[in-house]
Chains A and B, each alone.
Chain A
Amino acid sequence: MTSRRDFLKTAAIGAVAAAGTSRIARSESLLDPWSSHTGDPMANEIALAAIQAAKDAGASYSDARVGRYRRQFIAAREHQITGVNDSESFGIGVRALVNGAWGFAATRDVSREGAVRVAQQAVKVARAARAVTRTPVVLAPTPAVKGSWRTPVQQDPIDIPIEDKVALLLAANEAALKVPGVRFANSGLALLREEKTLATTDGTLITQTFVRVGPSFTVTAIGDGDFQSYTEEMAPRGSGWEYITSLDMVGNAPKWAAIAAEKLTAKSVDVGRYDLILDPTNLWLTIHESVGHPTELDRARGYEANYAGTSFVAPPEKMIGKLKYGSRLMNIQADRVQQDSLSRCAWDDEGVAAESWLLIKDGMFHDYQTVRDQAPAIASLNGVNHSHGCSFADSWDTVQFQRMPNVSLLPGNADTTIDDIIADTDRGIVIKNRGSWSIDQQRYNFQFSGQVFYEVRKGKITGMLKDVAYQARTPDFWGSMDMIGGKRSYWLGGTFSDGKGEPGQASSVSHGCVPARFRQVNIINTARSV
């Protein structure tokens, strides 16, 4: 989870409506980035002109994406607002396949001339790549589709008055700062609306609008020569403003602040092996890193070797249906359809319909994440002739490639809760929320921390701990999972900033999971003295 991309670069607009004043009049330009949202005829026409130009220049396949990205960020510290930014970014990116080699070019000049020029450039780039390419690209077939889709929301977050957003953050900070010992409070909102039109030479023409919201909240307490912070795990979601409201940041802030203050007097953990009880607010990221990334087919085939790394789940012929990934309780689903999830769409950036499928079945590795130019490589192994629809580009000026769909741990059959797991544990540690995270380039050795830790003795929570991190090897860790929560305890975490690729791209992805217990995991102490 790294991103080299400046998140603010393409941050978004929208505060005009947000101002509660009259909506701004549509601009004179034909391609109006303020227009909403279901297939701007001019965007369609320009995207179609681009792929035609690529075809005319010799491409056997081409796709064009016209993207409009609007983002709004608001940040607050203590009693003041430290940043309000709205941004828009608009442009077209064209991909061309020439004699089995890819080329890509992109411009912010979204005119017919700009589209044709950039399409011809993409073909030129592909021809240059062809000279050094030995293995021609083969695309899995996909049916042509036409249509539009929009994230279903009750309230578009961009349209909420800015005063309401500012007031929410300042009130949450205010409430936190009333807690004794708490000196600093930082809160923020990231609100996004992204519209993409995709045309392909296979006959696909689609427009999709994605709405996402990401709240954040961190408090810091200062003690004698010590400071401790607590970050609440408020998952970003593919939802509207109603999700932000449901979090009751102001009502909950004192509770969160009290955790930071209590951490100052928490006991530093004794190193050793413990039974770990991971709350979904912590486990989602462990799933992301130790299951989501290694089951990406491009990594398994070495295409990320120079940056994000390869995978221990390789080569595919030795893995599919053969690798024991974890205990029989482990069923991991990939999908791009889950309600409120960040990866939800109707079609991916190659026009492939969203679906769900199993990556891990009863603890055995079952299938990979794929895109059109990768799926044929394993079709004879998994019996799937189509792409699973994992293609994504984070902007009009970046090329689409394989990105993680939602990857989730399915609930167990019994109606188990985290309290049931605690009651069943003799000596353990409960970990909540994400702390530090790091994993090796083949996804074996990982070390994760959390925001708050509780000691469990004889089935009961006996106190708070600090300086805790858990370190394990992926198959050992998942093999040690012996108790998981039921449907009622399922929770959807996620991130806006999953990093991969060169140049680096950020994607948004959700991970649903239930609480789970892992036996005898190595716990280290992260405190040092200067």
Chain B
Amino acid sequence: MADTLMTRDAMQTLAKRILALSSADETRVNISSDAAGNTRFAAGDITTSGDTEDTVISITSTVGGRRASSTTNLMDDASLKRAVDTAERLARLSPQDPELVPELGPQQYQNVDASNADVSDLNAASRAHAVEQLLIAARAPGGAMPIDPATLFVAGFLEARSGARGVATSKGLFAYHASTDVSLSCTARTPDGTGSGYASAGGRAWTAVDPGALGRRAAQKALASRNPVAIEPGRYTVILEPRAVADFIPGLMGSLNARSADEGRSAFSRKGGGTKLGEKIVDERITMLSDPFDPDLRGQPFDSDGLPLKRVVWIENGVLKNLAYSRFWAAKKGVEPTGGGGGGFGRNPAGLKLAGGTKSVDELIAGTDRGVLVTHFFYIRSLDQRTVLLTGLTRDGTFLIENGKITKSIKNFRWNDSPLLSLARLADIGKAEPVEAGLVMPSLKINDFTFSSLSDAV
């Protein structure tokens, strides 16, 4: 494609061009340049496949203590000038921002090598080839084959993305980071509609993905999950595979916002005022952190303000060690900002890792008298922010464990539980593994997980 990823020099040149057009007190330019290819498949066919490219420029202007932004993907001089003028005009028309924090000057960044050429080289033909490998493996998965696996309905999605992010300010800051990420997931369904299995993998490099292994795994799960039986909803010991943990545990991140906690509207607000910082909130085997320099995460070493991101341990040995501070709230409280705007909704650009133990999922199963094995979750929504209570459903491979073995396929459940309360009921912790780019999660064994009702969905 023509818009190949912007290099550091090209991005810096573009940022300078934009800053030269500005007459605001302070200006920040955020640039993102992306080239992506995707291939979607179902029923053994590729259903859609596409290559896209875009560069998006966001200009944030500050005039007399007022701030606003404009965004464009047009890069001719007239369009850039118009975008700068728009941001400045909007800023002038906005009320003064009492929480305005000045833009940053030059910062020191440690480079993170997060790009792999094998991802940027993944064109439509090589993606189609990978899909074909996955389908071939799904049709001959090995293991017990109660029905002809060639009749499985297989659907999935492969996406490869190369991106570059840049930040520049009128005070001399410039930050640049390039990264790649790739993911492949698939769902196999039995023709009678009673069995479904899912598998996925992803990372910064294509070597993180083995299409054949994913096809086999999804097919085996689909075959093993046929004709599920209903067991009573209630409280069960669960073993969550890493993908299920990745669906569930990051739901905590929104509650880590320091300001919400200080304001009394978070699970980490302490009754009577203050926060739970320093208190033991979950099992002592739990440590969760963000760190762009962790080789398993290879995250972005700065946030959208250009603030360098560092290793932040949110929970260490079960104790709440850090909350997420925006630059404004950090200054008000006299602490270091953690970056990322102090948010937590969405993904921290530095990545997220829940440290694991040494056991495999099979070992966790072997150590369980009675429990439920969960492949992944679906449609998770918040029920109560006070306890981070969430609801969702199990999906694509839910099994009963009895006496250390998987004994039967069971119907899916709706659950109502909280990642915070669950981590306090931790029974065991498995090996951590990369689930997708910038996200490392272990399998977890949790006691008394609340399944509230049965779902007929397969």
Contacts and interface: CB of A to CB of B under 8 A. Distances in A.
A388 to B, nearest CB: 19
A49 B457 CA distance: 47
B24 interface: no
A131 B132 contact: yes
Interface in A502-523: 502-503, 522
B46 A439 contact: no
B418 interface: yes
A305 B222 CA distance: 13
A15 B48 contact: no
Nearest to B100: A80
Interface string A282-310: 00000000000000000001111111011
Contacts of A108: 3, 53-55, 73-74
B71 A302 contact: no
A183 interface: yes
Interface string A1-42: 010000011110101100101001001110001100000000
Nearest to B32: A9
A103 interface: yes
Contacts, number: 313
Interface stretch (B85-93, B168-176, B361-369): B85-93
Contacts of B380: 438
Contact of A129 (B68, B124, B383): B124
A155 interface: no
A88 B456 contact: no
B98 A80 contact: yes
B414 A16 contact: no
B263 A109 contact: no
A440 B455 contact: yes
A162 B155 contact: no
A84 B94 CA distance: 8
A27 B82 contact: yes
A475 to B, nearest CB: 10
B10 interface: no
B187 A305 contact: yes
A107 interface: yes
Interface string B429-457: 00000000000000000000000111111
B70 A80 contact: no
B47 A102 contact: yes
Given A16-B85, A117-B2, A440-B414, A106 B52 contact: yes
A530 B90 contact: no
A446 B196 CA distance: 20
Interface string A428-443: 0000000011111111
A104 B49 contact: yes
B457 A445 contact: yes
A91 interface: yes
Interface residues of A, number: 106
B9 interface: no
Given A85-B71, A103-B50, A502-B159, A471 B453 contact: yes
B68 A184 contact: no
B86 A15 contact: yes
A476 B70 CA distance: 49
A447 to B, nearest CB: 6
B42 interface: yes
A464 B368 CA distance: 44
Contacts of A21: 89
Contacts of B387: 527-530
B412 A469 contact: no
B89 A15 contact: yes
Given A27-B82, A397-B52, A132 B45 contact: yes
A90 B412 CA distance: 44
B52 A105 contact: yes
A125 B50 contact: yes
Most chain B CB inside 10 Å of its own CB: which residue of A170, A224, A444: A444
A104 B1 CA distance: 13
B139 interface: no
A101 B46 contact: yes
B419 to A, nearest CB: 12
Given A16-B85, A442-B458, A530-B267, A90 B74 contact: yes
A128 interface: yes
Contacts of A87: 58, 70-72
A29 B76 CA distance: 8
B189 to A, nearest CB: 6
Most chain B CB inside 10 Å of its own CB: which residue of A88, A445, A449: A445
Nearest to A29: B76
A442 B42 contact: no
A211 to B, nearest CB: 19
A190 to B, nearest CB: 14
A307 B198 CA distance: 10
B157 interface: yes
B124 A128 contact: yes
A306 B272 contact: no
12 contacts: A13-B82, A82-B99, A102-B47, A108-B73, A122-B50, A132-B45, A132-B128, A132-B132, A305-B42, A309-B378, A503-B36, A528-B386
Interface of B: 1-3, 36, 38-56, 58, 67-74, 76, 78-79, 82-83, 85-87, 89-91, 93-95, 97-99, 123-125, 127-128, 131-132, 135, 153, 155-157, 159, 185-187, 189, 193, 196, 198, 263-265, 267, 271-272, 378-387, 389, 391-393, 395, 412, 414, 416, 418, 420-421, 452-458
Given A15-B86, A161-B93, 5 more contacts: A109-B3, A117-B2, A303-B43, A471-B452, A503-B157
